[in-house]
Amino acid sequence: MTEQVEGIDPAVPPSGPGCVECERNSGWWVHLRRCAQCGHIGCCDTSPAQHATKHATATGHPFIQSFEPGEDWYYNFETGEMYDGGPELAPPRSHPANQGVPGPRERVPADWQAHIH
């Protein structure tokens, strides 16, 4: 049975292995979140640039799912609710583990802890 949820399109693949905007700016992130509607990968609120929240605010896309290996929780920006799981989105379900956390490894500065929220 396929559950239809407004704001979630399980057929859309993720935009890529890293945060869309950080990849453009040679930035880095702590954790990654996936927009469940359009597949946009953005960085979490702990990350310096917080692109996942900015994407949700700019587009009105309500749901993100964690893009971290082994995590499948959802969050709804409109209600502030967290969910332990939900519809299974198109693969891949997470970034490559060897990308590192924070990542990507090669761009994380030595003093990264001074830049997070």
58 binds Zn ion (CB under 5 A): no
> If 0-12 CB within 10 Å is exposed, 13-18 middle and 19+ buried, where does residue 15 land?
middle
51 binds Zn ion (CB under 5 A): yes
35 binds Zn ion (CB under 5 A): yes
Q: Using the rule CB under 5 A, which residue among 8, 41, 44, 49 binds Zn ion?
A: 49
Q: Which is nearer to Zn ion, 19 or 89 (CB)?
A: 19
- Closest-CA residue to 32 (of 40, 41, 23): 41
40 binds Zn ion (CB under 5 A): yes
41 binds Zn ion (CB under 5 A): no
> If 0-12 CB within 10 Å is exposed, 13-18 middle and 19+ buried, where does residue 42 land?
buried
